[in-house]
Structures are given as structure tokens and as C-alpha cells.
Amino acid sequence: MAQQKFDVVVIGSGIGGMTAAAMAAHKGYKTLVVEKLPFIGGRFSTREWKGFKLTSGAIGVEVGGVMEKTFKELGLDFDVRQEEGMRYRIGGQDFEMPKRGGLKALINIACGDEKEADRIYGLIRQGWKWQEPPGTLTFQEWLSQYTQNPKILGFFQGVLSAMLGGNIWELPAHAFIRFQTNMGGYRAFGVAPKGNTYLMNQLADVIRKNGGDVWTSAPARKVVVESGTAKGVVVQKKGQEVTVSSQAVISNAGPRRTIELIGSENLDRAYIKLVRDTYVPMSVMWLQIASDKPLLPYHGMLVPAEARRVNLINCPTNVAPELAPKGKSLLIVGAAPKSMTPPHDFKGELELALLDLKDIIPGFDNAEILMASWFSGDWPVLHTMPGHELPNKTNIENLWQVGDGAVPQGWAALPGSTLSGRLAVEDMERRLKPEA
Ligand SMILES: Cc1cc2nc3c(=O)[nH]c(=O)nc-3n(C[C@H](O)[C@H](O)[C@H](O)COP(=O)(O)OP(=O)(O)OC[C@H]3O[C@@H](n4cnc5c(N)ncnc54)[C@H](O)[C@@H]3O)c2cc1C
């Protein structure tokens, strides 16, 4: 069996893994990323189809947050074109979220009763300022104590499913409060006009320029564990098993696959139980749609607050025409299924999403669906449900987990995954010096 030596091996090239690897390489650690697929980026990558640059997952990239900060620190080109803020469709009309007092104003529009809006906003505010609602109740159970108004419940279902990818009858009550506190509900976001892969390739360049490497089509088969400490990774490369020894291992493979790679015999039963009880990868239906003319007039996302399934609509080519062939537009649509976990009735859910789109978008019948698929299981919208975050460490020393299965509390998606990569490297620096 061939042998190689690096300071750090990162399993998986998602944004969490690539952030960790690029930061580690930048700090002088000889770093190897191994990716099982033939391309890098995981759920933040680009696939070319009929001249369109389609996303393998995320489209909205936070601007002015932790990802931009990371790119700046590494001297990279954060080529993200900012969109306008979100709009909400309530009662057939579209409203912008005002910069100040926005949530309260929207609740007021949704229920048409200023006093009730004040009361409900007061509860949310109390969650921020004083005591967050319990995680033992779903958001719907918590809110239903104070209002049965279906317009308010419907509004929050639209907002939470767009922002957190889940339903109010499944998300824990505190998830929304924590998300607003830490991520501010994505104050600003944009799209990558050259495609997500352009951004990921820059992180790969940092790794290579600093003496590291990125292997694609190279699945990790096993984490080597000796006396409770990670010592490297066994990787399949070009039909051969290669043992890469390292001081540190960073896994971006998601909690369930990381357990398999470490081997449950090496892990505390408490951790395995925690993952079994808490780990809920969340599903979403994602449609990528071509048209001759823009199907949405906005330079930003629309959240239809009272739809059957559709929870966000974005026409990224309005700000980044480069994502489509000349004379074409791209529409991206997210739809939250009735339950965030499989099994799903794909046909039934798609029918409901298409009914929504016909209601919301004039001229939708002439559009071409380029891709309609579930993101679930090992390729979910989020690995862990907001409010049920898992730790980034197990009992195995010098092994960290990154990605949206290992975000700090109140974080999610691209910003949370990026932060998880940075935190793992900061912790590693406190323990290990570069050697290889
Ligand atoms: C449809 C959809 C829409 C989304 N929209 C947004 C959005 O608009 N904004 C936003 O901020 N977030 C969005 N997200 C969430 C965001 O994409 C994810 O949170 C983020 O990309 C997760 O990154 P990650 O670090 O967890 O890695 P992942 O993207 O999960 O990558 C992990 C990588 O590890 C590899 N891997 C797994 N096992 C092995 C192994 N054994 N050996 C080698 N490699 C392995 C996988 O192949 C994969 O490439 C969306 C997600 C989806 C699916």
C-alpha cells in the first residue's frame, strides 16, 4: 500500500472542507483534500447544462459575512454580485422587507391588525432580548400558544422555510431566534456570476500554492485511529489504496459518514446515540428553469408567504446574465416538502410546486424545466436541522468535523459551514504545529 505524509487531511471539498483546508495551508500546514466526486465544491459547485451554469446546491451567497471575510484574508477575488433584499408575497402583493422594523411591518401586513402584530413581534423580540423559546416545542407549537391566526402562522411558515429550509411544524422554536441573532437572517446576499466553482477553485489554488494538494475521484475509505487519536486517512486513488498519514484529520463528509469512516468501535456510544437521535438531514425540492424572458422582475429573491410548497424564487440572471446562454434567463425555485425527511412523494410535491408557480409567475407555462430534483439524504439542503446542531468533535483527538453538519448553534448553510471550517483550524493551531 502506497504511503504519503501531510500535516492535515481534509475529507470532502464542500465549502466547510475547502475553507478549513485553505486556511490551514495559508497558515503553513501541508494540507491534502480528498474528494470522492470528480469535481470540487459539494453543494456549492457548478454544473454546465445546455449552456446554463446550474448550481449543485446553494445559489444565495451571503455578502459582507464570514465567507467574504475569509476570501479577503486569503487575498482572493470574492466575485459575488449583490442582489436586492428579499421581497415577500402576501395576499397577492409583493412587499420589500424594510431595513428597520422590517419583521414587525411584515407581520402587520400579513395579519392586517397592528395590535396583534405588535403583540407577536413583542414575543419574538423577547426571544432575542431576554429568554429564547424552548427547543422542546416546534415553532408552530410555541407560536400557537399566543395566536391561532392562520395568516400569521402562514407568514412564518413562508419565512422560516425560506431561511432555514424547514417547516414551522418541524423546526424547534428557538431555531429562528438563534438564526436571527447570529446570521441576521442573511442581511445581504448575492450570486457568483462566474459560477460557484470559480470561488471554490480559488480556495483550491491557495492549498496548492502552499505545498498542498486536492485529489478528486479519491474517496476516503477509513480514518486511521491509534490510541484514540486520528493519525491519517486511507484513500482510494486510481484503483489503489493510499495511506496518508497526518497529524490532523478534518471531515466534511457529514456526521453519519464520518462515523462510518472512523468506525463505531472507536467512538463513544454517547456520540453515536446523539447522532442517531438528533441527526436529521433536511430535504428540499429544487427546480432550475429556463425561459426566454426573466420570469421575475426583481433583482433578488421572492418569498411567497402563502404558497403550497414553493418557499423561494430567484432569477439570478437578472443580476448575473453570465449564468445563462445569451437571450435566456434562469429561474431557481425552492420548495419545502410536507416533511423535511424522506420518504417523499416526488410526483405529488412537484405538482403542488408547479401549481404555486403557475399562480405566482405569469407566463410560467412557456418555461422549460432544466432540472427538478430532491436534495436529501447525503446531499440534503442542510445536514443538521437548525436548533439541533451537533458538536464538531468526537472522542477521537485531532479529528474535527466541518460543514453544515457541524455548525455552531444558530448558524447554518454557507455561512455556518464556512465558520465551522475556520473554527476547526483555529482549534487545530492551538494544539498542533506544522511538521510535514
Ligand atoms: C438545493 C440547495 C439549495 C441551497 N441554497 C442555499 C443558499 O441559497 N444559500 C446558502 O447559504 N446555502 C444554501 N444551501 C446550503 C449549502 O449549500 C450547504 O450548507 C453547504 O454547501 C454545505 O457545505 P459543506 O461544507 O457541508 O459540504 P458539502 O457541500 O456537503 O460537501 C461535502 C463533500 O464531501 C464529499 N465527501 C463525502 N464523503 C466523502 C468521502 N468518504 N471521501 C471523500 N469525499 C467525500 C462529498 O462528495 C462532497 O463533495 C443549499 C443547499 C441545497 C442542497
pLDDT digits (tens, 9 = 90+) for 34-84: 999 999 999 999 999 999 999 999 999 999 999 999 999 999 999 999 999
CATH number, domain with residue 297:
3.90.660.50
pLDDT > 90 in the chain, percent: 91
Partnered with residue 237 across adjacent β-strands are: 240
Lateral strand order in the sheet of 81-82: 61-62, 189-191, 81-82
| Residue 358 pLDDT exceeds 80 | yes
Contact predicate 324/52, CB 8 Å: yes
Confidence of residue 243 (pLDDT cuts 50, 70, 90): very high
Assess whether 205 and 164 both reside in one domain. no
The protein residue with its alpha carbon nearest to ligand 1, atom 24, reads 403
Assess whether 346 and 201 both reside in one domain. no
Atom of ligand 1 nearest to the CA of 261: 41
Residue 90 lies in a domain: no
| Residue 1 pLDDT exceeds 70 | no
Q: Over the stretch 92-151, which tens digit does the pLDDT of each residue have?
A: 999 987 777 788 999 999 999 999 999 999 999 999 899 999 989 999 999 999 999 999
pLDDT at 306 (0 to 100): 86
Residue 323 lies in a domain: yes
179: Cβ below 6 Å to ligand 1?
Answer: no
- DSSP structural state of residue 138: B
Assess whether 398 and 423 both reside in one domain. yes
Helix 150-164 vs helix 102-111: crossing angle, to nearest 10 = 140
The protein residue with its alpha carbon nearest to ligand 1, atom 45, reads 12
| Pure H helices in 263-378 | 269-278, 346-360
Q: Over the stretch 324-355, which tens digit does the pLDDT of each residue have?
A: 999 999 999 999 999 998 889 999 999 999 99
What average pLDDT does this structure show over 404-433? 97
Assess whether 266 and 404 both reside in one domain. yes
Which of 43, 217, 234, 250 best tests ligand 1's pocket when mutated (most atoms within 8 Å of CB)?
43
pLDDT at 131 (0 to 100): 93
How far, in Å, is the centroid of ligand 1 from the Cα of 102? 30
- Average pLDDT of the chain, as a whole number: 95
Rg of the chain in Å (alpha carbons): 22
What average pLDDT does this structure show over 181-196? 87
Domain end among 351, 375, 399: 375
Assess whether 274 and 394 both reside in one domain. yes
Query: Residue holding cell 400557537?
Result: 144
Q: Over the stretch 212-228, which tens digit does the pLDDT of each residue have?
A: 999 999 999 999 999 99
191: Cβ below 6 Å to ligand 1?
Answer: no
Residue 52 lies in a domain: no
| Residue 183 pLDDT exceeds 80 | no
How far, in Å, is the centroid of ligand 1 from the Cα of 41? 7
Q: What is the pTM of this model?
A: 0.97
Residue 8: its H or E element? strand 8-11
Assess whether 253 and 106 both reside in one domain. no
Spell out a b/e string for 34-54, using b for 16 or more CB atoms within 10 Å of the CB, else e: bbbeeebbbbbbbbeeeebbb
Q: Over the stretch 261-272, which tens digit does the pLDDT of each residue have?
A: 999 999 999 999
Give me the domain span that covers residue 339.
282-375
How far, in Å, is the centroid of ligand 1 from the Cα of 379? 7
| Residue 185 pLDDT exceeds 70 | no
Residue 293 lies in a domain: yes
Please return the burial class of 96, using the count of CB atoms within 10 Å of its CB with bins 0-12, 13-18 and 19+.
middle
The protein residue with its alpha carbon nearest to ligand 1, atom 18, reads 413
Assess whether 11 and 70 both reside in one domain. yes
Domain end among 183, 208, 224: 183
How far, in Å, is the centroid of ligand 1 from the Cα of 10? 14
Please return the burial class of 366, using the count of CB atoms within 10 Å of its CB with bins 0-12, 13-18 and 19+.
exposed
What average pLDDT does this structure show over 358-378? 94
- Of 27-31, 126-130, 133-137, 183-187, the one with minimum mean pLDDT is 183-187
382: Cβ below 6 Å to ligand 1?
Answer: yes
Assess whether 267 and 390 both reside in one domain. yes
Residue 178 lies in a domain: yes
pLDDT at 254 (0 to 100): 97
Residue 200 lies in a domain: yes
pLDDT at 187 (0 to 100): 77
Taking the C-alpha atoms of residue 136 and residue 148, their distance in angstroms, rounded to an integer, is 20
pLDDT at 176 (0 to 100): 92
The protein residue with its alpha carbon nearest to ligand 1, atom 12, reads 413
pLDDT > 70 in the chain, percent: 99
What average pLDDT does this structure show over 358-385? 94
Assess whether 405 and 257 both reside in one domain. yes
Q: How far is CA 183 from CA 66, 69, 159, in A?
A: 10, 14, 14
10 Å Cβ neighbour count for 418? Answer: 30
Which of 44, 203, 279, 301 best tests ligand 1's pocket when mutated (most atoms within 8 Å of CB)?
44
Instruction: Answer whether the bond into residue 362 is a cis peptide, omega within 30°.
Output: no
pLDDT at 386 (0 to 100): 93
Query: Residue holding cell 428579499?
Result: 86
Structural domains of the chain, count? 3
Residue 217 lies in a domain: yes
CATH number, domain with residue 143:
1.10.405
Domain end among 353, 375, 397: 375
Residue 436 lies in a domain: no
257: Cβ below 6 Å to ligand 1?
Answer: yes
298: Cβ below 6 Å to ligand 1?
Answer: no
| Pure H helices in 165-213 | 173-183, 196-209
Assess whether 207 and 335 both reside in one domain. no
Assess whether 306 and 366 both reside in one domain. yes
pLDDT at 13 (0 to 100): 98
Assess whether 164 and 123 both reside in one domain. yes
